[in-house]
């Protein structure tokens, strides 16, 4: 299945969207919903999906960045700045997982395999049924593992499409604990979007920065957004390296460079920062607030 998808993508790389995981993963579903005519290209890791774009094997990559229940996806804040790619879009995917097992198996099951984020999103469901959560590389790969073992005492928590792909039975639908469970994906491409491509759309700009190591530096750096009326919808900190001496910040704002208010706010941010890097400006796909 993977080789067939890779072959199709290699024939038309411009149409290919690289994603991390096995066929049937949530990232696969997100890619198909975002661009129904795309050629999904499964990759082993997030870094591999990014490299597929950098090497010209795919036109873009679909990368999950945060989940409403489990928080941000590990390593993404480190991978994005180093990738050299630009964010050109976003997509919000409602997460709907199913419990699936080999044909005929009805449970009870000893354990459930899935990606750690999916397990965290079904924590209450698993605890109530006494099922041990076992982490796997991705949700669809967990379904493939259950199918390969043929073990009726185990199950996977995976997207429903994985059951069709791997010949499993769905034992129970919608096993996620929260009905409003949502994952935000970003679309990465080799070049940023042209400024005029967002005419008539609400722009979002994502950037990272490191403030100077002086008292109140973050407070002063943020002041320009308040005084210029620029709405910051996301601000997260993460450590740079292992020394714990430098903190990086990841931020989303509503607006785009070229807007006088955004330019003034970014200029003030740069004055109080050691480094500022814009990762992309793209159209908002879901209203904030």
> In which element (H, E) is residue 35 found?
none
φ, ψ (nearest 5 deg) of residue 17: -120, 115
Residue in 109, 125, 183, 206 annotated catalytic = 183
Chain center to CA of 279? 15
d(CA 49, CA 20): 6
As a whole number of angstroms, the distance between CA 289 and CA 287 comes to: 7
Q: Which two tokens stand for residue 231?
A: 């709405």
Residue 185 known to be catalytic: yes
Backbone torsion region of residue 280, taken as left when φ is above 0, otherwise alpha when ψ lies between -120 and 50, otherwise beta: left
Active site (annotated) includes residue 109: no
Q: How far is Cα 138 from Cα 26, in angstroms, rounded to an integer?
A: 9
The Cβ of residue 244 has, within 10 Å, a number of other Cβ atoms equal to 8
Q: In DSSP terms, which residues pair with 158 in a beta bridge?
A: 98
30, 95 contact by CB (below 8 A)? no
Catalytic choice (19, 185, 207, 209): 185
CB 122 within 8 A of CB 181: no
In whole angstroms, what is the distance from residue 216 CA to residue 265 CA? 17
CB atoms closer than 10 angstroms to residue 27 = 30
The two structure tokens encoding residue 207 = 């950037």
Catalytic (active-site) positions: 183, 185
């Amino acid at each position: 299945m993977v080789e067939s998808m890779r072959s199709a993508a290699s024939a038309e790389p411009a149409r290919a969207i690289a994603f991390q995981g096995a066929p049937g993963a949530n990232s696969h579903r997100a890619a198909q919903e975002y661009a129904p005519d795309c050629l999904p290209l499964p990759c082993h890791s997030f870094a591999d999906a990014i490299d597929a774009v950098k090497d010209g094997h795919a036109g873009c990559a679909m990368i999950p960045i945060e989940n409403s229940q489990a928080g941000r996806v590990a390593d993404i804040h480190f991978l994005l700045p180093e990738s050299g790619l630009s964010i050109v879009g976003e997509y919000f995917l409602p997460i709907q997982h199913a419990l699936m097992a080999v044909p005929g198996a009805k449970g009870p099951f000893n354990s459930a395999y899935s990606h750690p984020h999916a397990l965290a999103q079904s924590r209450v469901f698993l605890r109530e049924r006494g099922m041990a959560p076992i982490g796997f590389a991705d949700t669809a790969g967990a379904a493939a593992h259950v199918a390969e073992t043929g073990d009726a005492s185990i199950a996977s928590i995976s997207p429903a499409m994985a059951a069709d792909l791997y010949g499993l039975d769905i034992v129970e639908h919608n096993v996620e604990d929260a009905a409003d469970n949502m994952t935000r994906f970003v679309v990465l491409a080799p070049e940023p979007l042209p400024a005029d491509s967002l005419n008539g759309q609400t722009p979002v700009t994502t950037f990272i920065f490191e403030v100077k190591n002086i008292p109140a530096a973050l407070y002063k750096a943020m002041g320009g957004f308040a005084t210029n009326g620029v709405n910051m919808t996301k601000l997260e900190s993460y450590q740079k390296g292992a020394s714990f001496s430098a903190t990086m910040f990841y931020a989303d704002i509503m607006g785009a460079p070229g807007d006088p208010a955004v330019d003034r706010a970014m200029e003030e941010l740069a004055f109080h920062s050691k480094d500022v890097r814009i990762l992309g400006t793209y159209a908002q796909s879901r209203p904030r607030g």
